[in-house]
Amino acid sequence: METIAMPAINLAVIMPEILLSCIAMVLLLVNVFVPGNNKAYLGYLSIIGLAVTAASAVGGWGPSVSAFNGSVVQDNFAIFFKVIFLISAGLAILISDRYMVQEDCNQGELYPMILFATVGMMLMASGTDLMVIFLGLELLSICLYVLAGWNRDNLKSNEAGLKYFLLGAFSTGFLLYGMALTYGATGSTKIQAISSYVMGNPGVASNPLFVVGMLLIAVGFSFKIAAAPFHMWTPDVYQGAPTPMTAFMSAGPKAAGFAAFIRVMIFAFPMLRAEWSDLLWILAVLTMTVGNIIALSQDNVKRMLAYSSIAHAGYALVGFAAVNAEGAAGILFYMLSYAFMNIGAFAVIILITKKGEVNGNVQDLAGFGHKKPLLAMVLSIFLFSLAGMPPTAGFIGKFYLFSAAIKAGYVWLAIIGVLNSAASLYYYLRVMVFMYMKDPEEDFEWAGATPAIAVCLLVAVGATLVLGVVPGTVLELAQKAVQF
């Protein structure tokens, strides 16, 4: 009788994912068995869980270890991204409770749902098999559909969930079709195997099956990172979703999209970098420009930030188009900074809006700077960082991305990028002008920060400034992470 060779199973490699899944499931049960309407404790437990997971993930820093027959890998690249996901999940959880209580949708399942989404993101970053990446992506997406439509009684939230679901599933179809065609053309779903097949058979680059497959995969990821012209869902979903979830979606899943995108594009198709570059810079220019231009005419702050998040994906794509180590490191750094500054900005938005998300327009911010000077200053720091002003993290990140593009010879791409970031200043500044330089039309009272939100703001402001003033260590880590 033939013996079946058991593949080496190395659970240590996926320990963070296992841990976080278990924690999420335990929390689901805890939620059922502990009575009461106050669900904040679940959030704190989740944060402890995230911290444990982060510790377990960071413990793997060092040489990369592949497991499950080359399906997942534990390398510095994945670990750096996992930390980004865990941080964005943690910050999002910190700002959730107050909002969910205010909007009467304080179900305890929220927190496990966020954790499951985080597991999905982590799988996307560490997967080296198209199958694993697909599973991670779907785990993430399904959780996000639910999170976007979390506020069941709010039509806007329903609509956001439904739109996201329909378009997300639609884009999944394309992604899967691309994976199937790539599988057909190369004979494997493992990135390593695909990569060696492509190296061994350069002719495959002109095989339409392979080219279309590759492009459809790119389209699938472009949808996830909201690159134009696959960005259309973003503003609507970001506006309709509960604000903490918008913050989460704009930081974590976007980074996860980039993680998988970089993994597939740069690992699997190293031969075709030049071809990728063409596609990527077009996406970058379109994405930045569309995001920024439409953001200019937005009055709703949340929607404005949604468009601006499209533009930020565009900046990151500039680094991607450079297809060099600096560019990839730039994306890592930028995604980390973006998580802090964007979630921070949304945290302030949560404090500004009243139940039903009224008073979310720029005009409603008039006088905010005088009533709540500290919060206004914090929001200004985030906005400056988003606009790329020194000495904030956003500046260093953009500096790095554009510098990578110039190094790769894309001077004009950097010019477009910098012009775009100059234009973006206009709408960020507009918020500040209303905060500081307009008198309110009616007397308006704003709530102060709850302790959880205060912690979130403190962490985010601290990180935004620290990453801007002493970015050395983190940049070094990011560079180590992309030494493939």
Asked if 422 is part of the footprint of other proteins (rule: CB under 8 A), the reply reads yes
Assess 423 for contact with other proteins (CB under 8 A).
yes
Task: Find the shortest distance in angstroms from Cβ 418 to other proteins.
Answer: 4
Q: Interface mask (CB under 8 A) for other proteins, residues 160-179, using x and -?
A: xxxx-xxx-xxxxxx-xx-x
Cis ω for the linkage preceding 229 (within 30 of 0): yes
C-beta separation of 252 from 260 below 8 A? no
- Which residues in the 51-80 window bind other proteins by CB under 8 A? none
| Element of type H or E holding 74 | strand 72-74
Bond from prior residue into 391 cis (ω within 30 degrees of 0):
yes
Cβ proximity to other proteins: between 58 and 293 the closer is 293
Considering the complex, state which of residue 46 and residue 234 has its C-beta at the smaller distance from other proteins: 234
Q: At a CB cut-off of 8 Å and minimum separation 6, what does 232 contact?
A: 167
Query: How far apart are CB 338 and other proteins at their closest, in Å?
Result: 18
| Interaction mask 189-228, other proteins, x per CB under 8 A | x------------------x--xx--xx-xx---x-----
- Structure tokens of 9? 């199973």
**Of residues 443, 446, 372, 401, the one with CA closest to residue 380:** 372
CB of 270 to other proteins, least distance (A): 18
Q: Does 239 bind other proteins (CB under 8 A)?
A: yes
Among the listed residues 257, 266, 270, the one whose alpha carbon sits nearest the alpha carbon of residue 124: 257
Q: Examine residue 458 and tell whether it contacts other proteins (CB under 8 A).
A: no
Among 50, 247, 260, 329, binds other proteins (CB under 8 A): 329
Q: Does 390 bind other proteins (CB under 8 A)?
A: yes
Q: Does 128 bind other proteins (CB under 8 A)?
A: no
In this structure, which amino acid lies at residue 435? M
- Choices 2-10, 252-260, 349-357, 470-478 (CB under 8 A): range interacting with other proteins: 470-478
| 257 is an interface residue for other proteins by CB under 8 A | no
Compute the least distance from the CB of residue 292 to other proteins, in Å.
9
* Rounded Cα gap, residues 100 and 36, in angstroms: 15
**Which of 59, 62, 202, 229: binder of other proteins (CB under 8 A)?**
229
* Residues 292-321 as x/- pattern, contact with other proteins by CB under 8 A: -xxxxxx-----------------------
162's tokens: 């439904």
Contacts of 326 (CB under 8 A, 6+ apart): 319, 400, 403, 404, 407
- Decide whether 290 or 456 has the Cβ nearer to other proteins: 290
Amino acid symbol at 377: M
Site for other proteins contains 396 (CB under 8 A): yes
The residue from 418, 447, 465, 466 that contacts other proteins (CB under 8 A) is: 418
DSSP E strands, 167-305: none
Helices 325-352, 76-94: crossing angle, 10 deg rounding? 10
Q: With contacts defined by CB under 8 A, how many residues of the chain interact with other proteins?
A: 104
Residue type, 64: S
Among 7, 59, 62, 184, binds other proteins (CB under 8 A): 184
Q: DSSP readout, 211-230?
A: HHHHHHHHHHHHHHHT-TTS
Question: For helices 301-321 and 273-296, what crossing angle results, to 10°?
Answer: 160
CB of 41 to other proteins, least distance (A): 26
